[in-house]
Structure 1
């Protein structure tokens, strides 16, 4: 994991190639199993040969890791042995001297075993030589690599290590065509100056590239490491600052304490925290990379093995609500996620193939027997408990789906399956303009039906969006999807939320005379769809004026910045639909 410096700066970049077919297996995945395993796995070894002998004599078997990944319902594995804190161990036979390399091809065996079960293996690569002598032992052999290259190369420098690791990228590409790609723990100047990433895509068009904590545009995915501090603690996406459809991953430890690798102890696994992270990430279309600490022989400590067995049976009955779905309340549509009534909290998911099949994941139940969720214009036809199949009592009015008579909550995730019959009451053909816009991000982008384009206020406040409905129409509410390119809470003085705080709404018949606001208030700093309900009235023009946003002036990147993917006008609330009705 990243060991130099702190967390990423929280600045999202525009991806260069967000729809490349090589990303298909990641987009279809719910998550992966992260394996930190190498020379310094307890008990630590300084001899590469002795470590390999203990691995083999201990019964290491690639099928075991694949089976454990399947128990967690993951679709890929990330192997981190060439890690700066694990002795830079290469778990494959290498012709490039410079650090530990095994005689046995552990990586090749894992790739083959995973492929047989329909999973992919991604290889972790570090950029970092700073831990070359950790523990009083020199893990890098500059003399051997220098002799191999025919010139002096100091592997303990960033440039020298960049050359060494650069060569290893190509060796791996030549040996393992079925590898899923590379998971890179930050950039190295040598790699960048030698155009490494472009060369990887050219040589292996099926390989994906992920970067840890840095949103590098040329790479397919950004991973977000061990985020904490949000409320509730399991709602990991609150700390994510990258907008969809950018591939985004959350990587986190399953053991409650300790390092990313096995240190000789067996910490507990918090089921609520772990399952909550898995579900909330899925409910935000973020991949969940779950780290477990394999021992020298590859086996997991008892508490992690027990959790895997538990997850295997626990996830099966609700798997349809996680796999083959996207997060609800974002660019894919769906019911509103997040903070609900009476202390309830959770996420929603929506089927990738059937937008009328949705799911409500209640991770923190309400203090009452009633759950209320904004319906986002979907006409509800039926609600059932996914685990039991039992029908749930519900009603729909005023833009809200209300479930009643609830109880016997699952201790981790109560899932309701919601069948809908399309959307109702959302105006089309609305023209949107803005009082200020950044170049290339005009106000019209907030009303073009495309969440990939967005309006940017050019850090101008107060600022307004004006909606021209074409003729006088009933106006019931405004719907907003703000761009999810900032965290949802103040993580630090320099990493804050760029979302609407104070607002006013005006109506006009002619676009010139506006009068007093018909609604004024504050929006919470929350992810996903936000709605502003109005007392129904007729108007041709609607104006949303934003007076302030949540980011403080200490966050110079996001202070006064506002971006909106899509904004729309609801002319009426959705009404219930009987099963089969459209």
Structure 2
């Protein structure tokens, strides 16, 4: 774990899961169309589908205190009191149904905790693995064995841990275990030894592929010999594997929402593989590292709410015991999970292919997920981050609600259902980590049956036709064939009422831009869209336009009260950028449903609805509004109550077909003018402002032309809150300027990624002393979801360039608070002995499928990773200038662990191999090679189509 990811032939040829898969019905002989891709459903997977979690144990010779002698390590394990039942019992406390044992691990000494007959690395006399399998099966905890293909850490501690001579003698041929092929042969033999000895094992967890395994059909032989065993592959979707494991994803908002970084759609079995100790190594390093209860429980719940299995890594000591912090967490989980067990076991993630209400961000800062029982009639709302008010409001996805119960307390709660939302009212018993409401329903209502709807599209990828959008099957999807903009038209067969669309996009990408194991990733979800309706399919009338959040689960587009036969969704773009070519301009959708109304349960009142306040205007029916009514004209709310005086967030839910404004007067304060954007007169949208309220009762009066649905009052978000934005600044990477260069052209884009507008936005560089700026700041009064503010400037040094850091800063207001985000442009004078120097991560380069990653010792703190192993895994430097044609010296700065090669092509010429070696992927080295350049601009490409190449820091020419 936590090491360089190697590409494989299997990954290159099967990197995209093609649609359908061998279904359970086919396996049981009941008939289905066989798939050419992965076995997504198979009876051997049933136990894991029913599981919620697993326990990942990294434990071996290099567990602290590190051992360099295998026999001494074994003596210390036994002498310390190791027992398999301890691990099994601790796993059960976590609600884990299986244990993955990682001892034959590249960073733990390649130890084998069984008396292997095959020499080559540490092997024990005591059969720890056999004992663990027996103990686990006795208590219904499956055991899976970790296997690695990586020999590069064979002498990490200065002692050789792989014995090539002994293995060569055993095989009767010379084998170098420190090479990938030699190690592949060795580990290949181990797979068969384990299969022969341990019938009760549940499978293998494989940390990336090895070409020797693939050439010799290892996985196919495992399937033949042990058809009930599972195969899991780390960070790849390899079709023959049962499970895709996603390793240690971070950077989400909120931090616990692990599924935001996942990229494999249901019903593929997916693990979220993460450490419970928040610091330290994957194995015990001698420290009692803390477990973040909030982060860990949040991951546990949100994974369950996305049908992902939580594979939690703990760090056993040499004697097998866990450090006190981890034991404490296990004991906590043993008491915390059972009261909500029914919401986690025998359920699937809600809001996806199994039905259910919408997960994600809810009202007043609340965030959570939904789990559903088969059929969707019983659902569980998991409030992981509680709101700042006493109610929870989430999209109901057409489910007609009959009862809501807090499953920890058994208390029934009042609720309201209208306008497409369920509002659970009067909540006072909040759990610290997850408040769970059991929601009983009559099932999904007021959607047209998919059999009565047909779909067409302006572009479809062969094999993924638009008909899949309305076939009721989430395992078949439509693909736009990399065409954007693109139109999807739904035919209701006759003129019918329609109120909203429910869009289930394929969950095959993360929700935000990131780099994962050197691969650039981004959200391939809809951003800007338009919806139009027609009676004849020729004359169209636009009824809604906007931006859709980049979020998992069902997304909704309210279109007001329409009567039409045809509904057309124009997708103008997606959230993905060109830095992630696999996702850029790609669009896949599972299903689009058309609703013709909203379930209604109005008996419990939602606070502060306009129709229940004093008003001097008329009431209008508004199906999409809370309570199905809105007020056109002035409204006065006379009992807006807060416990303490202070500043609060006031949300206005208004409707308007034209851009307008309303005046908001709080008590006797001067009125506040609030801009209301143009949208629909029958679909409310939220706008929030800061207001000062006194303790107790307050009066809020609203006047203007907009329709008023309701208001909501909540505390302001924490002072540290900054809405999620994406700021892209070019050029990226250190800019090395020669003696005759003093200027840098800078462009910047600021995109708002959340559905909460920011105001008074300004974007501009802040030049240091000695520099001048040409170009005005980019400004806008309001920036909304998905909108982009762009600027371009010329920065010029008034003298010879000195090392400079130039911040590009976006400043804005959030509910009256000043905030800013900054990205720096680094400028350095080019060394005198170089005619050219450019960082590998520079935005002017072409990257193919490679990606950027941090590297502290590298120039600029970054490098390009994942070069090689595929034809599209390269870095190309264009516009490399040369004053005259001739031979030059190319300097290549790189990091590598073990022998690898680049192939270098200049101006498309024949490639020349540059063979390199080194120790440590965080140790930069420099190599040179002669190249021939032409006068003018040149192109230099570094690649390796067949095998992995070193990571690249920068190149320069002397």
TM range (shorter): over 0.9
Structure number with higher strand proportion? 2
Q: Of residues 385, 388, 391 in structure 1, which corresponds to 2:406?
A: 385
Which structure 2 residue ranges, 5 or more long, are not aligned?
19-36, 604-958
Q: CA deviation at 1:339?
A: 0.9
Residue range with higher mean Cα deviation, 561-570 or 10-19: 10-19
For 1:404 and 1:123, how far apart are their aligned partners in 2? Answer: 48
Q: CA deviation at 1:491?
A: 1.2
Q: Of residues 180, 198, 201 in structure 2, which corresponds to 1:158?
A: 180
Q: Secondary structure at the match of 2:303?
A: helix
Q: Of residues 567, 576, 590 in structure 2, which corresponds to 1:565?
A: 590
Q: CA deviation at 1:531?
A: 0.6
C-alpha root-mean-square deviation of aligned residues, in Å? Answer: 1.5
Q: CA deviation at 1:393?
A: 1.2
Q: Secondary structure at the match of 2:579?
A: coil
The alignment status of 1:86 with 2:114, answered yes or no, reads no
For 2:143 and 2:17, how far apart are their aligned partners in 1? Answer: 26
Q: Of residues 405, 426, 433 in structure 2, which corresponds to 1:405?
A: 426
Q: Of residues 225, 242, 256 in structure 2, which corresponds to 1:220?
A: 242
For 2:448 and 2:563, how far apart are their aligned partners in 1? Answer: 13
The alignment status of 1:4 with 2:4, answered yes or no, reads yes
For 2:386 and 2:17, how far apart are their aligned partners in 1? Answer: 36
Q: CA deviation at 1:2?
A: 4.3
Q: CA deviation at 1:96?
A: 0.2
Q: Of residues 421, 430, 445 in structure 2, which corresponds to 1:424?
A: 445
For 1:272 and 1:249, how far apart are their aligned partners in 2? Answer: 20
Q: Of residues 561, 569, 573 in structure 2, which corresponds to 1:536?
A: 561
The alignment status of 1:368 with 2:389, answered yes or no, reads yes
Q: Could you tell me whether the CA contact under 8 Å between 1:12 and 1:485 is conserved in 2?
A: no
The alignment status of 1:18 with 2:40, answered yes or no, reads yes
Q: Could you tell me whether the CA contact under 8 Å between 2:417 and 2:602 is conserved in 1?
A: no
Q: Could you tell me whether the CA contact under 8 Å between 2:399 and 2:445 is conserved in 1?
A: yes
Alignment match, 1:511: 537
Q: CA deviation at 1:89?
A: 0.5
For 1:289 and 1:386, how far apart are their aligned partners in 2? Answer: 26
Q: Could you tell me whether the CA contact under 8 Å between 1:12 and 1:242 is conserved in 2?
A: no
Q: CA deviation at 1:408?
A: 3.4
Alignment match, 2:502: 479
For 2:465 and 2:595, how far apart are their aligned partners in 1? Answer: 22
For 1:129 and 1:374, how far apart are their aligned partners in 2? Answer: 51
Change (3 A) 1:199 1:2: farther
Change (3 A) 1:49 1:577: farther
Deviation track 1:207-245 (CA, whole Å, cap 9, x = no partner) reads: 110001111111111101100001000000000000011
Q: Secondary structure at the match of 2:520?
A: coil
For 1:126 and 1:350, how far apart are their aligned partners in 2? Answer: 36
Alignment match, 2:527: 501
1:18-97 equivalent positions in 2, closer than 5 A: 18-97=40-119
Structure number with higher helix proportion? 1
Q: Could you tell me whether the CA contact under 8 Å between 2:418 and 2:602 is conserved in 1?
A: no
Q: Of residues 542, 545, 555 in structure 1, which corresponds to 2:570?
A: 545
Q: CA deviation at 1:6?
A: 8.6
Alignment match, 2:511: 488
Q: Could you tell me whether the CA contact under 8 Å between 1:423 and 1:574 is conserved in 2?
A: no
Residue range with higher mean Cα deviation, 401-410 or 339-348: 401-410
Alignment match, 1:252: 274
Q: Secondary structure at the match of 2:157?
A: helix
For 2:576 and 2:185, how far apart are their aligned partners in 1? Answer: 41
Q: Could you tell me whether the CA contact under 8 Å between 1:427 and 1:568 is conserved in 2?
A: yes
For 1:238 and 1:16, how far apart are their aligned partners in 2? Answer: 23
Q: Of residues 462, 466, 470 in structure 2, which corresponds to 1:443?
A: 466
Deviation track 1:156-202 (CA, whole Å, cap 9, x = no partner) reads: 00000000000000000000111110000000010011010011000
Q: CA deviation at 1:119?
A: 1.4
For 1:363 and 1:181, how far apart are their aligned partners in 2? Answer: 33
Q: CA deviation at 1:273?
A: 0.2
Q: Could you tell me whether the CA contact under 8 Å between 1:381 and 1:577 is conserved in 2?
A: no
For 1:43 and 1:32, how far apart are their aligned partners in 2? Answer: 26
Q: CA deviation at 1:494?
A: 2.5
Alignment match, 1:454: 477
Alignment match, 2:307: 285
Q: CA deviation at 1:5?
A: 4.3
For 1:131 and 1:397, how far apart are their aligned partners in 2? Answer: 60
Aligned residues: 576
Q: Secondary structure at the match of 1:422?
A: strand
Which structure 1 residue ranges, 5 or more long, are not aligned?
none
Alignment match, 2:928: none
Q: Secondary structure at the match of 2:88?
A: helix
TM-score (norm 2): 0.59
Q: Secondary structure at the match of 2:532?
A: strand
Q: CA deviation at 1:11?
A: 6.0
The alignment status of 1:270 with 2:274, answered yes or no, reads no
Q: CA deviation at 1:576?
A: 4.0
Q: Secondary structure at the match of 2:183?
A: helix
Q: Work out which of the two has the higher radius of gyration on C-alpha atoms and give 1 or 2.
A: 2
Q: CA deviation at 1:12?
A: 4.8
Q: Could you tell me whether the CA contact under 8 Å between 2:17 and 2:38 is conserved in 1?
A: no
Q: CA deviation at 1:514?
A: 0.5
For 2:345 and 2:428, how far apart are their aligned partners in 1? Answer: 26
Q: Of residues 121, 125, 135 in structure 1, which corresponds to 2:143?
A: 121
Deviation track 1:63-121 (CA, whole Å, cap 9, x = no partner) reads: 00000000000100000000000000000110000001111111011111110111100
For 2:218 and 2:327, how far apart are their aligned partners in 1? Answer: 38
